[in-house]
Amino acid sequence: MNTVMHHPLHCVHHGSCNGGLYSRPFIESFEETPMLVAVLTYMGYGILTIFGYLRDFLRARKIEKCHIAREREEQKDFVPLYQDFENFYTRNLYMRIRDNWNRPICSVPADKVDLVERVSYDYNWTFSHTGRVVKDVINMGSYNYLGFSENKGSCADAVAEVTLKYGAGVGSTRQEMGNLDGHEELEKLVARFLGVESAMAFGMGFATNSMNIPALAGKGCLILSDELNHASLVLGARLSGSTIRVFKHNNMQSLEKLLRDAIVHGQPRTHRPWKKILILVEGIYSMEGSIIRLPEVIALKKKYKAYLYLDEAHSIGALGGRGRGVVDYFGLDPTDVDIMMGTFTKSFGAAGGYIGGKKELIDYLRSHSHSAVYATSMSPPVVEQIITSMKCIMGEDGTTIGKSHRIQQLAENTVYFRRRLREMGFIIYGNNDSPVVPLMVYMPAKIGAFGREMLKRNIGVVVVGFPATPIIESRARFCVSAAHTKEMLDQALSAISEVGDLLQLKYSRHRILPTLDRPFDETTYEECED
Amino acid sequence: MIQTTKMASGQQWVLVEMVQAFYEAPAYHLILEGILILWIIRLLFSKTYKLQERSDLTEKEKEELIEEWQPEPLVPAVSNDHPSLNYDVVTGPPSHKITVNGKECINFASFNFLGLLDNERVKQKALASLKKYGVGTCGPRGFYGTFDVHLELEERLAKFMKTEEAIIYSYGFATIASAIPAYSKRGDIVFVDEAACFSIQKGLQASRSFIKYFKHNDMEDLERLLKEQELEDQKNPRKARVTRRFIVVEGLYMNTSDICPLPELVKLKYKYKVRIFLEESMSFGVLGEHGRGVTEHFGVSIDDIDLISANMENAVASIGGFCCGRSFVIDHQRLSGQGYCFSASLPPMLASAAIEALNIMEEDPEIFTILREKCKHAHKALQDIPGLKVVGEAFAPALHLQLEHSTGSRESDVRTLRSIIDYCLDRQIALTQARYLDKEERFLPPPSIRVVVTVEQTEEEIEKATSCIREAALARLE
């Protein structure tokens, strides 16, 4: 029984006991855009477009100074490299608020970070560094969920040793002379961490998807991909040459309909049966903050004999009582997921990606993955960072810092942060347990204003607009970290509230009464033994 | 009352006007209207048909189909003795003296051209960076993942290559594979050399453009293709005005170790108005008086090349890659290079290692001359090995040794070469086979042994290696 409450103003899904599939309440909310806000947002974009045309006209007539880089004189009669309209959005909308992105930092990206101060004297066309540093900005933008991004401590010491012994580079591919003993140790550890038979590590998370999906699916296969999948998954699916069909975000009815249609009708026109069906989903969707409905997806996958590819880029380490990701969060069996993919960038403070699964799958990837044959293997210090941080999470380094200080702290911080933001009256998307918190901003001018006002109050936030999100649903995205203390979160929250009042961002019509601060409730995570 | 009569007369008045217009209209107009009206009537009464023929299956039949359908296994089985399955394990650093499968050997297999993998200064700089920044960057370039080290490395690379701007990527393979689709889209035309490496092929596949291959280093073939395209353009000048054209070549080809004829390419560029993308992974830090690559080697002005892409994993002994060129070209990748925008940035300690490697390259340009001398020495020494032929230029640091007479089956060739490598490993020379994905490569090169010459190898070691290979060939190729 899946109860869905449809309120005219918002939609809250309570997926409790869907035939016993969910062992815990699944609460997510995506409040609808208020009508007035939508109208004003469209108006805002309309005004910006008109001004954009005006400025382009002035630039063409040389009335306004043109800062845009130009083609060489000798190549003026070549076919133009860019169409004018392709860059319209970049020139006229993105340029105005460009100072909110690519902010250079000069310290370790931990709970607090030092930013390089930069100014622009020509409205963001060029930046110059003043030479000063903005110190101790609270970092709500880096993907540092478990706080392993540190330059001191046992992880850093181990990495320092390895750097002096092995150096920084490798100089060869895995299949040639680049397979170090560290790589083999890492892969065994990852397999043990995930609870699967075998695993393989790659040097870049993006490339893990774009190079391995083509090895797994080909012509005659069907890929069912979620609407909001990451660019790497989309690129991998395209490069594979399979047919791609898209189902609505996290919508199990849409997925089931596609599966049924695919099996019953077969390939288009020839009606031959599909060779295999691969479902591509992510653990946590970083733009929405939603968690995949994994129990239902696995039930569907088993019923229709499809294969499941789970991309846990944001959820590994960040969800679950033991930090083992979304499978652990729902209390499911890791062998049910055919291909478990993830990255080491977010929760382990390193770089790279991995794929875990059955031994046949990993053997096949060792011999047929593009990365193993053509791409340089992972750098030894990075490998060591992953090994030490993973051992810390598993508790094998002899301490309980991993479990108690990091995983528990992250869960507490997430629940607290989300609750306070909702109480203040902001529209927050996503699941209650996801450490990625999108806060809706909607209007184009407020995107820039929010980023700048928060920086004035010494909080670094990430704002996202078109084309990463739909055009009227621009948002600010916070990444809660285990390294944040309650004081830092309170400081950030008061600044957010102040800016929210200043910019009138508290759109939510669904007011929650503020509850008293109660101590963290242990029953949020089921007791499980390691 | 008055109103309705007024309306009625108004209507009548309109009717009179219509009848008048009917009489005054030209004949063809009336005939055309008549045909249109008849066509509409026909369409209204014709049978409707659906675009996709969906047979109406009952629910029971659908359930049966779902029950019966069996997918293929997710991956085909791989036998345990597949040649690509069992990797050689390197214990310890992959430097000049390398321990492979437990044996200490001299390294003739890693792309460590300038010997910087083991350099103390590089390691110390990486260590200092680690103590300041930690390991990972925890974000893409757009979201607090841009460090001052990245900006410094980009400036230094641009200065070194004497271009306006440079952009760095966190993975060598992804560099050219993200750069090509950022500029070349559906409908554009790309002329590529047949021997282009796999990352270029993936970039071309992602771009969805028309790909035209020309024979390896054959400028006449390329000119023929360009002339054909010119004829096509004259037939359709409007389309030709918006179709971008590119030539993608490598400086030193990884698959054949020879050099591209860059001056002729530049002539063709201006004659047929095509842009050149140059991939310099194997020639950056190798060719040219100061190590600036094939443009310096030939004395071609760097502004004539639209984009130069290289990875920092060979001569620079770090991880990652970069593209350099004019700001007009490079700045576009900051918003549309997929591997740049959607991926975490390069760990700062690896960027610091690359900066220090650049420092060493700038301080001591002699090493490039020394490297080229050693390559020539090795190339000469490897001639006249019975059964094996050397493929590659004399000054290329990564050579291929191919079988002179193939047995006919690629599998047995691979096994033979493997036995030669095992023989050499037993005698402490580390070599490796050049690996390819047999089914994915467009023009699969023949199996070969990769021999890499580095600045750290002494003449004796090169002599030892070549005599070892000679013995192995005599022993294993009868």
What is the helix (H) or strand (E) element at residue A12, kind and residue range? strand A11-14
Residue A516 pLDDT: 56
B92 touches chain A (CB under 8 A): yes
Q: With beta carbons under 8 A apart, name residues in chain B contacting A100.
A: none
In 3D space, the residue among A468, A464, A439, A463 whose CA is nearest the CA of residue A452 turns out to be: A463
**In this structure, which amino acid lies at residue A374?**
Y
Share of chain A above pLDDT 70, in %: 92
Contact check, Cβ <8 Å, A139/B93: no
Q: Are strands A243-247 and A222-226 parallel, antiparallel or unpaired?
A: parallel
Integer Cα distance of B192 and B90 in angstroms: 36
Cβ of B90 within 8 Å of Cβ of A180? The answer is yes
Alpha-carbon separation of residue A62 from A82, A126, B328 (angstroms): 20, 19, 19
Mutate to test the interface with B, among A70, A91, A170, A211 (most CBs of B within 10 A): A170
Bond prior to B73 in cis (omega within 30° of 0)? no
| Contact flag A139-B171 (C-beta cutoff 8 Å) | no
Q: Which of the residues B56, B57, B61, B75 would you substitute to probe the A interface, choosing the one with the greatest number of A C-beta atoms within 10 Å?
A: B75
Q: Does B54 touch chain A (CB under 8 A)?
A: yes
Sheet strand arrangement including A11-14: A3-6, A11-14, A27-29, A430-431
Please judge whether A169 and B349 are an interchain contact, meaning their C-beta atoms are less than 8 angstroms apart.
Answer: no
Report in angstroms the alpha-carbon separations of A432 from A147, A286, A315.
20, 14, 14
Residue from B52, B65, B86, B138 to probe the interface with A (highest A Cβ count within 10 Å): B138
**CA nearest to A28, candidates A481, A429, A466:** A429
Distance CA B207, CA B185 (A): 5
Q: What is the DSSP string of A436-496?
A: EEEEE--SHHHHHHHHHHHHHTTEE-EEE-TTTS-TT--EEEEE--TT--HHHHHHHHHHH
- Inter-chain touch B326–A167, beta carbons under 8 Å: no
The half-sphere exposure of B360 on its side-chain side, counting CA atoms within 13 A, is: 22
pLDDT tens string A449-461: 999 999 999 999 9
The reply to whether residue A167 touches residue B122, judged by beta carbons under 8 angstroms, is yes
> Per the CB < 8 Å rule, is A94 touching B127?
no
Whole-angstrom CA distances from B460 to A366, B97, B373, B381, B463 are 36, 14, 14, 11, 5
Average pLDDT over residues A39-55: 93
pLDDT at residue number A356: 95
pLDDT digits (tens, 9 = 90+) for A132-150: 999 999 999 999 999 898 8
pLDDT at B32: 93
For residues A90 and A69, the answer to whether their CB atoms sit within 8 Å is no
Q: What is the pLDDT of residue B439?
A: 86
Instruction: Give the model's confidence band at A8: pLDDT under 50 very low, under 70 low, under 90 confident, else very high.
Output: very low
User: Quick check: A76 contacting B, CB < 8 Å?
Assistant: no
ipTM of model:
0.90
Measure the CA–CA gap between B139 and B159, rounded to whole angstroms.
Answer: 27
Residue whose token pair is 């700048």: A452
CA distance B145 to chain A (A): 7
- The pLDDT of residue B67 is 87
Distance from A239 to chain B by nearest Cα, in Å? 6
A89 at interface of B, judged by CB pairs closer than 8 A? no
pLDDT value for A529: 39
Q: Mean pLDDT, chain A, as a whole number?
A: 87
Count of CB contacts below 8 A, A vs B?
349
Contact B139 A142 (CB under 8 A): yes
Q: What is the mean pLDDT of residues A68-89?
A: 83
Identify the pLDDT of residue A77. 86
Greater pLDDT, A404 or A477? A477
> What confidence category does residue A526 fall into, taking pLDDT thresholds of 50, 70 and 90?
very low
Cα of first residue to Cα of last residue in chain A, in angstroms, is 32
Q: Which of A111-115, A395-399, B101-105, B264-268 is the least confident region? A: A395-399
| In the predicted structure, residue A511 carries a pLDDT above the cut 80 | no
Say which residue the tokens 């290979």 belong to: B469
Record: contact A232-B77, CB cut-off 8 A? no
- A 357-376 residues inside an 8 A Cβ radius of B: 360-361, 363-368, 370-376
Q: Tell me the C-alpha distance between B88 and B107, whole Å.
A: 13
Across the interface, which of A206, A231, A365 has its CB nearest the CB of B174? A206
- What's the pLDDT at A11? 45
**Preferred mutation among B86, B103, B135 to probe A, highest tally of A CBs within 10 A:** B135
Residue B322 touches partner A, C-beta closer than 8 Å: no
The Cα–Cα gap between A390 and A153 comes to 14
Q: Does A104 touch chain B (CB under 8 A)?
A: yes
What is the DSSP annotation of B327-375?
HHHHTTHHHH-HHHHSSBPPPHHHHHHHHHHHHHHHH-THHHHHHHHHH
Q: In this complex, do B135 and A166 lie within 8 Å of one another by their Cβ atoms?
A: no
Tens digits of pLDDT across chain B (478 residues): 455 555 555 556 678 888 887 777 788 888 999 999 999 999 888 876 656 555 677 888 888 888 888 899 998 888 887 878 888 899 988 888 999 988 899 999 999 999 999 899 999 999 999 999 999 999 999 999 999 999 999 999 999 999 999 999 999 999 999 999 999 999 999 999 999 999 999 999 999 999 999 999 999 999 999 999 999 999 998 988 889 999 999 999 999 999 999 999 999 999 999 999 999 999 999 999 999 999 999 999 999 999 999 999 999 989 999 999 999 999 999 988 999 999 999 999 999 999 999 999 999 999 999 999 999 999 999 988 888 889 988 999 999 999 988 888 888 899 999 999 999 999 999 999 998 988 888 899 999 999 999 999 999 999 999 999 999 988 887 6
Q: What is the pLDDT of residue A151?
A: 87
* B174 touching chain A per CB within 8 A: yes
Mean pLDDT of A388-414: 83
Nearest to B139 among A141, A166, A373 (CB): A141
Interchain pair A180, B144: CB under 8 A: no
How far apart (Å, rounded) are the C-alpha atoms in residues B425 and A131?
Answer: 54
Kindly identify which residue of chain B lies nearest to residue A362, measuring between CA atoms. B75
| Closest by Cα among A87, A101, A90, A95 to A124 | A95
